[in-house]
Amino acid sequence: MTKQPAVHFEKLNKFYGAFHVLKDIELAISSGERIVLCGPSGSGKSTLIRCVNRLEAHQSGRLTVDGIVLDDLPKTVRAVRNRVGMCFQHFNLIPHLTVLDNCTLSPIHTHGVARAEAQAFAVDLLASVRMDGHAGKYPHQLSGGQQQRVAIARSLCLRPEIMLFDEPTSALDPESIAEVLEIMAKLAANGMTMLCVTHEMGFARRIADRIVFMEGGEIVEAVSPDIFFGPTAAERSRRFLSRMARH
């Protein structure tokens, strides 16, 4: 028996008014698979991953996340969000809470985890992203790269099955980019199911099982890095990589 996908888009369509943002998206992502989404600005990449945890609602088609068919019912959305973690371009840490409190807020108050258990788990995760010495600091006392590493730890405190990354390094300096990509690579190596929107093509080539190239709200191709970066890639993918190489 074939195991069901971790995430399955079936003829998914998304509109903003009359603007057709996502067009008949078909994509099945296996448990433990690392997917990198890339493409020109406005191609629908961020919208696509935001549909996975219902930050954006699709208008037609079917989206299944960890066996749950996503709809508008609050209990369905909660069930999916309990399984899906997300890191944004901007860190979205709560400024008046310490690093540790940022990490334990949702486990304690939303999921009913005992405070001592939530704190112990958070400290372990902060150590895994090399932020255990900063648990008592506030977000404004941290660099951008440090804040993003805390944001990753905060997401992992909910023990997600799937992680979404939406341009997690685009607001960072080069040194911080390297730090955050290293943490993401460790997650990938540990078998986390990942969907990542990024323009870091070296990172994509290193960690992705498949690269999904989007343009105009459509998936142009979803192929292995060897194919995507090779001579048999789709023409639109090759044009995109050529433009990226010039910047």
Task: Please check whether residue 46 lies inside any domain of the structure.
Answer: yes
pLDDT digits over 28-57, tens only?
A: 999 999 999 999 999 999 999 999 999 999
Whole-number pLDDT of residue 33: 96
- Kindly state the average pLDDT of the residues 122-149: 94
pLDDT at 217 over 90: yes
The answer to whether residue 232 is domain-embedded is yes
Q: Could you report the per-residue pLDDT of 232-241, keeping only the tens digit for each?
A: 999 999 999 9
Q: Concatenated DSSP letters for 142-204?
A: S-HHHHHHHHHHHHHTT--SEEEEESTTTTS-HHHHHHHHHHHHHHHHTT-EEEEE---HHHH
Summarize pLDDT for 85-134 with one digit per residue, the tens.
999 888 789 999 999 999 999 999 988 999 999 999 999 999 999 998 99
CA distance 7 to 192: 13
The set of long-range contacts for 18-24, using a CB threshold of 8 Å and a minimum separation of 24, is: 20/217, 21/47, 21/217, 22/47, 22/48, 22/51, 22/58, 22/217, 23/216, 23/217, 23/218, 24/61, 24/218
The pTM (predicted TM-score) of the whole model is 0.92
In a domain, 88, yes or no: no
Give the number of domains in the chain.
1
Note the pLDDT tens digit of each residue in 64-82. 999 999 999 999 999 999 9
* Bridge-based pairing state of the strands 193-197 and 162-166: parallel
pLDDT in tens, 165-189: 999 988 888 888 888 999 999 999 9
State the burial class of residue 73 (Cβ atoms within 10 Å of its Cβ: 0-12, 13-18, 19+): exposed
| 163 found inside a domain | no
Assess if residue 100 is contained within a domain: no
Asked if residue 84 lies in contact with residue 47, where contact means CB atoms within 8 angstroms, the answer is no
Instruction: Check whether 2 has a pLDDT greater than 60.
Output: no
Residue 86 placed within a domain:
no
Q: Which of these, 222, 224, 228, lies nearest to 240 by C-alpha position? A: 228
Residue 237 lies in a domain: yes
Q: Are 97 and 122 contacting, i.e. CB atoms less than 8 angstroms apart?
A: no
Mean pLDDT of the chain: 93
Host domain of residue 12: 1-71+191-247
Task: For residues 141 and 166, give the distance between their C-alpha atoms in angstroms, rounded to a whole number.
Answer: 24
| pLDDT above 80: residue 147 | yes
Q: Which residue has the higher pLDDT, 245 or 150?
A: 150
Whichever domain contains 12, its CATH number is 3.40.50.300
| pLDDT of the residue at 1 | 45
Alpha carbon distance 194, 183 (integer Å): 13
* In-domain check, residue 199: yes
pLDDT value of position 247: 62
Amino acid at 206: R
Amino acid (1-letter code) at residue 44: G
